[in-house]
Amino acid sequence: MTITAEHGKGKTLKDAQGDVFRGLEVVEHACGMATLQMGEYVSNVSSGIDTYSIREPLGVCAGICPFNFPAMIPLWMFPVAVTCGNTFVLKPSEKDPGASIILAELAMEAGLPKGVLNIVHGTTDTVNAICDDENIRAISFVGSNTAGMHIYGRAAAKGKRVQSNMGAKNHAVVLPDASMDATLNALVAAGFGAAGQRCMALSTVVFVGDSKLWEEKLVELAKSLKVNSGLEPDADLGPVISKQAKERICKLIQSGVDDGARLLLDGTDIVVPGYERGNFVGPTILTDVRADMECYKEEIFGPVLLCMHADSFDEAIKIVNRNKYGNGASLFTTSGIVARKFQNEIEAGQVGINVPIPVPLPFFSFTGSKASFAGDLNFYGKAGVHFFTQIKTITQQWKDSPGGTGVSLAMPTSQKS
């Protein structure tokens, strides 16, 4: 499973192992579904009347997955859906469907009944068929904004529930008092891990105050990373997913330079011995980036770290909040007072304080916001259970002689007549 998750996607074997394990955490969480979907009960809401709520499955649900987490994202979806009592149609990315096939085989081996989990393959036509099928009640999606908004609009128009996790531009705000070594390690790991092909990658750093020393050390640390096939034991990052992805990344880097950004570290011309035709992009760092640059406005989805500058902490918060995306944001500081201000004022769904990739464990939900998410209920956690179930409220009355009071056409209330 780990090798399948690694193959050709920029992951190292250790990172691919993390892909699998983070998915299995959701499976473990879903094993407690009996208590997660417990309803509510109130006895004697009115004389002799009880009211309670239960959660029931929707029926047929579907998931449409991206290439970058071929194990974890399917495991965000179908374990929660099927333990809530639904059947599930899973469409893996056409670029790497192997992990989903292995997961389905393992699920059947574990005892999942035939027909509960179903795999379909394809591209646009398959996606549109899922959106249009009247039997499918809910759709989970993770991927780009273009695809995500298309699915959200088309499926919602058919009356389906949709949860759509989309693009991101995650920022790290670094204050002068931050621990330098720990912060640099976090920025490099979160910016270049998986060759930057994560929706929670830290792609932009906002330095408050003087940044020259920070940037020098950032370049020095990034230069020490080894780019190679993800199967090589000493590799820190592997290739990006395709030739087209590499071309797009390099084009956005060049657009930043053309717009006035300074290229501190250039990974566009890297050649890996033995893999000369591979889709490799080395760690790249641009500084003096402005909010009007194309490289800032677009999600690059590659090993590219953008550096911006702010004269004050308040200005840094404004930079982050003006960005249309809202998946995550992190702050690096040693001040608890400043951290509290950040968590209250920042407009992002997931906030890290000295944590570079603040993706919660599955008993919380993955709470992207703004242009990073479309829908009402987020992935896994309580929100995930609510997404895959329909609430039903029952009010019941048991009396010895319910017809003894005659006919009343007045609106029923809890008050005695």
Q: For position 93, what pLDDT does the model report?
A: 96
Label residue 6 by pLDDT band (50, 70, 90). low
Pairing status of strand 328-332 against strand 350-353 = parallel
Q: With 60 as the cut, is the pLDDT of residue 37 above it? A: yes
User: Which two three-digit tokens encode residue 195?
Assistant: 């060759």
297-308 pLDDT tens trace: 999 999 999 999
Q: For position 124, what pLDDT does the model report?
A: 97
Distance between CA atoms of residues 305 and 46, nearest Å? 62
100-113 pLDDT tens trace: 999 999 999 999 99
Q: What is the CATH code of the structural domain delimited by 1-167+368-394?
A: 3.40.605.10
User: Which two three-digit tokens encode residue 132?
Assistant: 């249009």
Q: With 60 as the cut, is the pLDDT of residue 417 above it? A: no
Is there a contact between 41 and 70 (Cβ–Cβ < 8 Å)?
A: no
Secondary structure (DSSP) of 51-68: EEEEEEE-SEEEEE--SS
169-204 pLDDT tens trace: 999 999 999 999 999 999 999 999 999 999 999 999
Q: Residue 181, Cβ neighbours under 10 Å: how many?
A: 10
Q: For position 11, what pLDDT does the model report?
A: 83
The domain defined by 170-324+328-353 carries CATH number 3.30.465.10: no
Catalytic residues: 199
Is there a contact between 122 and 94 (Cβ–Cβ < 8 Å)?
A: yes
Q: Residue 283, Cβ neighbours under 10 Å: how many?
A: 27
DSSP character at residue 85: T
pTM: 0.94
Is there a contact between 103 and 76 (Cβ–Cβ < 8 Å)?
A: no
The residue that leads in pLDDT, 233 or 171, is: 171
Label residue 416 by pLDDT band (50, 70, 90). low
Label residue 158 by pLDDT band (50, 70, 90). very high
Distance between CA atoms of residues 185 and 208, nearest Å? 18
Average pLDDT, the chain: 95
Q: State mean pLDDT over 384-402.
A: 90
Tell me, what amino acid is at 342? F
Q: With 90 as the cut, is the pLDDT of residue 404 above it? A: no
User: Which two three-digit tokens encode residue 339?
Assistant: 């951290």
- Every domain of the chain and the residues it spans: 1-167+368-394, 170-324+328-353
Distance between CA atoms of residues 332 and 342, nearest Å? 10
Q: For position 403, what pLDDT does the model report?
A: 58
Q: For position 371, what pLDDT does the model report?
A: 97
263-277 pLDDT tens trace: 999 999 999 999 999
Percentage of residues of the chain with pLDDT beyond 70 = 97
Label residue 155 by pLDDT band (50, 70, 90). very high
Q: For position 401, what pLDDT does the model report?
A: 63
Dihedral of alpha carbons 19, 20, 25, 31, sign: positive
* Direct distance between the N- and C-terminal alpha carbons of the chain, in angstroms, rounded to an integer: 67
Q: State mean pLDDT over 55-75.
A: 97
Count of H helices and E strands in the chain? 14, 18
Q: State mean pLDDT over 47-68.
A: 96
Q: With 70 as the cut, is the pLDDT of residue 114 above it? A: yes
Q: With 80 as the cut, is the pLDDT of residue 9 above it? A: no
Distance between CA atoms of residues 318 and 313, nearest Å? 9
Q: With 80 as the cut, is the pLDDT of residue 353 above it? A: yes
Q: For position 346, what pLDDT does the model report?
A: 98
Label residue 87 by pLDDT band (50, 70, 90). very high
